[in-house]
A and B are shown apart, each in its own frame.
Chain A
Amino acid sequence: MKKKVGFKTLGCRLNQFETDALASRFVGLGYEVVEDSKDTDVFVVNTCTVTNQSDQKSRYVVNNALNSGHSGMLIITGCMANHHKEKLEQRYPNAYVVGNEQKSAIPQLVEAHFHKEIVPVNQNKGGVFSYAPAADTFHTRSMIKIQDGCDNYCTFCIIPKVRGRAVSRPVNEILKNIRLVIGFGYNEVVITGVNISRYKHEETNFSGLIKQIVDLDLDFRLRISSIEPDSFDDEFFELLKHPKITPHLHLCLQSASESVLLKMRRMYTYKLYKRTVDRLREIDPLFNVTTDIIVGFPEESESDFQQSIEAVKDLRFGHVHTFKYSKREDTRAARMTNIVSEKEKTRRSELLRQEARQAKLNYRQQFIGKQQQVLIDTIKDDYSKGYGEYYIPVKVNEKLAKNRLYNMQIVDIELNGEDPCLIAEVVAK
């Protein structure tokens, strides 16, 4: 009987990529892979520590598995494992707490465990890029890790401490990885990393890498995930016109107040950010710009906050992920005074969410009457769902094939819920 490995992933796309790669590796080793802890021999929690809430969610997943009777091997990995290693080892003495550097070696650790070999958790030689291309994953899109770590040192962010210094994966390995996953049958690849716009390997920068990717003589579409707006060059804007590149960027703003951006030590101004969005919309008036905004950063005044509200209206974001500022020890912002009360952060967060909800609806309504090429990732009894080029969810009331692209005519939009789907009809199968 096959041994069963369960995964739960929290946080960013990079974690998702790493989980997918591990899951695929376990499938290759003959394990059954599932997305929960029920009846599993091994449960891997790939944690996040970017906010207090992330820590809480990560702990909840571990506790929930144990309270539900998980008695197999428990592995806690990801950024919380780096940030709170000792605390986790004390609290969960039977768990393996594996840092990001050794994460890629988890399959070897599990094999050793079941073969009764004694291998110290951190002895296995991992490596931040030692993930084989994933054939069997939890996702329809294949994520490709190009970079790890960050040297920006934003004052609120713990990630440089837990992911380490910026390092870039060699170009030839990335291209080989993409060729392999397209061969596995993926139609879309997603570029991931902690700070991908700072990609630099030998003489190749981010634009140079993207150019080489789109020049691959293969049929696929390329999605660039979360990206910092501080180092775009003209070549990058030109590349965004390439038909393989989808018209969507998750362009982290964090605040539209110049003074808050300075206190956050972000490496751009709001003016630069706005100009970047304008250039994107010159390329494609419907270009989907989604973003993260932090509310309640220390010293954020009502006027600063209102500038973020205005930005949500002005920049017509397709989606805004609103975060209440969360103090992370060992960061510069943790030492700042004039903190915003939790109550006020909650108020601002709710106001921003309301504005963002309206902006999202306004943005998505523009697609009614237009066509989209939708990659189906969910099949239910009475509908199928997927994402078009612009990364907007599209629903169609018929059963289609997963991981296939369909041309669809957008006919309507759901008006309820946080994530209103476009309603479509298939034009061509």
Chain B
Amino acid sequence: MEKEVPVANKIKTDLHEILDIRHLTDSTFVIRIEKKDMEFEAGQHVCVGPPNGIHTREYSIYSAEQDDYIEILVKEVENGLVSPSLKKLQKGGFVIVEEPVGYFTINKNLPADQKYVFIASGTGISPFHSFVLSKPGLNYTLLHGVKYAEEAYEANAYDSGKYVLCTSQENKGDYNGRVTEYLKKNPFGKDVHYYLCGNCNMIHDVYDILEDQGVSTDNIHAEVYF
């Protein structure tokens, strides 16, 4: 008798109830939704959209693997199709969620004491929030590039001395300037694994800086935000 094989590999989509919404700034908020049976690896993303629409957008998961809920960090995009609708939703409402996907994850074959540098711009901090909460004891430094200090989204989640806030438009962070400038002045070495998440320009520039610092591309992992 023929063995049972997968009938299809369709993308699974489900409605998830909104458990909570936390507004971090005027335009940025965290949506907490029920987890159901959704398993994921820190660094993966989900496509999320309003329940009555046909559009979804990719959001890296913000919460920890072991949490019994899923959180995403959303920045409202002016004239966007999805984020303004998400912002209008309320606790008790629903969102459409596709199953988690993505390869921007910590390589399990690396040693437990591996040093990581996480470099984020804006809401690109989301997968790193998930890394840090999912994997206690992670040996990391997180560089977070934003315009203003108010965009240091829930920075108390990170270990003291491991979070460097780089503010480009005001002198209220740990470093006044772009995250790229900080990296140029503060090299971390060739044996470190670098994870980059944010806009194309930041990632492009960081690649160049790390290359100048002699870092192999094998040690650089990137997730682009649009």
Q: Which of A33-83 contact B (CB under 8 A)?
A: none
Q: Which of A327-360 contact B (CB under 8 A)?
A: 332, 336
Please report the C-alpha to C-alpha distance between residue A386 and residue B222 in the assembled complex, in whole angstroms. Answer: 42
Interface flag for A427 (CB, 8 Å):
no
Do A128 and B8 have beta carbons less than 8 Å apart?
Answer: yes
Report A-chain residues with C-beta under 8 Å of the C-beta of B11: 160-161, 164-165
Q: Known: A165-B101, A258-B207, A262-B200. Is A129-B6 also a contact (CB below 8 A)?
A: yes
Stretch at the interface among A85-93, A147-155, A282-290, A367-375: A147-155
Interface flag for A166 (CB, 8 Å):
yes
Q: Known: A263-B200, A263-B224, A269-B217. Is A153-B101 also a contact (CB below 8 A)?
A: yes
Q: A151-B103, A267-B103 are in contact. List 5 more A-B contacts (CB 8 A).
A: A101-B8, A127-B6, A130-B5, A153-B58, A167-B6
Where chain B touches its partner, the secondary structure class is: loop
Q: Which of A272-317 contact B (CB under 8 A)?
A: 272, 275
Do B7 and A167 have beta carbons less than 8 Å apart?
Answer: no
Q: Which of A151-175 contact B (CB under 8 A)?
A: 151-153, 155, 160-161, 163-167, 169-170, 173
Among residues of A, the one whose C-beta sits closest to the C-beta of B100 is A151
Among residues of B, the one whose C-beta sits closest to the C-beta of A231 is B103
- A-B complex: 3 closest residue pairs judged by Cβ atoms: A101-B8, A164-B9, A167-B9
Report A-chain residues with C-beta under 8 Å of the C-beta of B3: 170, 173
Do A166 and B103 have beta carbons less than 8 Å apart?
Answer: no
Q: Which of B24-63 contact A (CB under 8 A)?
A: 58
Where chain A touches its partner, the secondary structure class is: loop
Q: Which of B178-224 contact A (CB under 8 A)?
A: 200, 203-204, 207, 211, 217, 222, 224
Minimum Cβ distance to chain B for residue A276 (Å):
11
Among residues of A, the one whose C-beta sits closest to the C-beta of B4 is A127
Contact size range, B: 20 to 34
Minimum Cβ distance to chain B for residue A155 (Å):
8
Most B-side CB within 10 Å, residue of A125, A160, A170, A262: A262
Interface flag for B93 (CB, 8 Å):
no
Among residues of A, the one whose C-beta sits closest to the C-beta of B54 is A330
Q: Known: A153-B101, A164-B10, A269-B207. Is A259-B200 also a contact (CB below 8 A)?
A: yes
Do B9 and A148 have beta carbons less than 8 Å apart?
Answer: yes
Do A127 and B211 have beta carbons less than 8 Å apart?
Answer: no
Please report the C-alpha to C-alpha distance between residue A376 and residue B41 in the assembled complex, in whole angstroms. Answer: 48
Minimum Cβ distance to chain A for residue B146 (Å):
20
Most A-side CB within 10 Å, residue of B6, B99, B200, B203: B6
Report B-chain residues with C-beta under 8 Å of the C-beta of A173: 3, 5
Minimum Cβ distance to chain B for residue A229 (Å):
12
Interface flag for A271 (CB, 8 Å):
yes
Please report the C-alpha to C-alpha distance between residue A145 and residue B222 in the assembled complex, in whole angstroms. Answer: 30
Report A-chain residues with C-beta under 8 Å of the C-beta of B8: 100-101, 126-128, 164
Do B226 and A332 have beta carbons less than 8 Å apart?
Answer: yes
Interface flag for A265 (CB, 8 Å):
yes
Please report the C-alpha to C-alpha distance between residue A173 and residue B200 in the assembled complex, in whole angstroms. Answer: 42
Q: Known: A164-B9, A167-B9. Is A151-B200 also a contact (CB below 8 A)?
A: no
Minimum Cβ distance to chain B for residue A321 (Å):
25
Q: Known: A164-B10, A262-B203, A269-B217. Is A151-B5 also a contact (CB below 8 A)?
A: no
